[in-house]
Amino acid sequence: MKNILSLIRVKHYFKNLLVFLPLIFSGRLFEQNSFLICLVIFVCFCFTSSIVYVFNDLKDIENDKQHPLKKHRPLASGKITKGQAVAIMVCLLILVMFIQIMLANFKICSLNAIYMCILVLIAYLILNVLYSLYLKNVPIFDILILSSGFLLRIWASGVVLNIPISNWLFLTVFSGSLFLGLGKRRNEMIKNKHNSRSVLKYYTQEFLDKNMYTFLAITLVFYSLWCVDVNISPLLIYSVIFIVFIFMRYTLDVEKDSYGDPIEVVFNDKILLFTIIIYILYVGGIIYA
């Protein structure tokens, strides 16, 4: 079971919590039906992202064997066979389809909402399959595809629940995800002693550094503008202090001995994780108190 959980990247389900952003910021988190729908979208994204992770590991199994960290992954280390991995992918796909059918049968939401959810999941799956097959080897496109996954998460719940997405929030998530993607590529290149990712030959550290910190700056600007524009509470602007600290702490970790994976960075830095929790409580308190 441990190897299966490692294969499907359960720890990375943390990213899928983005689907709750539109619901939280709209003040509808405690609406039972809306929360249930959002929870279903979260679960579907978790299973769909796991399909992508397994597919990518199957595609990169030989390269992963040469990587100092990835060689310990279940497929690269031989703890799980290719046949077992394919079976896991099929089971996850069936689960996603079953969940959508249950949504329709119990009439938790409208058929149009279910269709939109399915379309977003298909778009996410297609983009990431194309990424695994080819686009991850194309400079710039590889980072944009990674960023699109974050946008699709918030767009999915916004469309299904009929919640308008603030332009400033959209830009914040977009630029923030580009910052994370560039940081990941930056550290992969620094540690790329085994040439495990071919796209890195097209990048230079100077290019990645400049663009990474450019998107960090505009992310802070976009978030600040969202705090002013969203008209929730005058106290919301003070959450910028938390965001600045979070990003400064994150970049400090990235500049150190790290491969730049956002989830690993967050969970390996207890101060960073604690600050994120405090930020969530602060913003949640402002919206719902």
| pLDDT tens digits for range 146-193 | 899 999 999 998 888 888 888 999 999 999 999 999 998 888 888 765
Q: Contacts for 240-246 with beta carbons within 8 Å, 24 or more apart?
A: 242/275, 242/278, 242/279, 242/282, 243/279, 244/220, 245/275, 246/272, 246/275, 246/276, 246/279
pLDDT at 242: 97
pLDDT at 195: 57
pLDDT at 264: 87
Tell me, what DSSP letter sits at residue 165? Answer: P
Q: Tokens at residue 98, please?
A: 């079953």
Among 21-30, 47-56, 111-120, the least confident range: 111-120
Q: Which residues contact 202 (CB under 8 A, 6 or more apart)?
A: 139
Q: How far apart are CA 262 and CA 264, in angstroms?
A: 6
Element (H, E) at 97: helix 82-106
Q: Which has more confidence, 26 or 257? A: 26
Mean per-residue pLDDT over the chain, rounded: 89
Q: Is residue 194's pLDDT more than 60?
A: no
What is the Cα Rg of the chain in Å? 19
pLDDT at 244: 97
**In this prediction, what percent of the chain has a pLDDT beyond 90?**
52
Q: Is residue 204's pLDDT more than 80?
A: yes
Q: Which residues contact 255 (CB under 8 A, 6 or more apart)?
A: none
pLDDT at 167: 92
The model's confidence at residue 233, banded by pLDDT at 50, 70 and 90, is confident
Q: How far apart are CA 143 and CA 50, in angstroms?
A: 19
CB distance 156 to 117 below 8 Å: yes
Average pLDDT over residues 226-239: 90
Tell me, what DSSP letter sits at residue 151? Answer: H
Q: Is residue 235's pLDDT more than 60?
A: yes
Q: Tokens at residue 43, please?
A: 């679960």
Q: Is residue 143's pLDDT more than 90?
A: yes
pLDDT at 79: 87
Residues 265-280 pLDDT 10s: 899 999 999 999 999 9
pLDDT at 243: 97
Average pLDDT over residues 99-115: 79
Q: Is residue 114's pLDDT more than 70?
A: yes
pLDDT at 100: 84
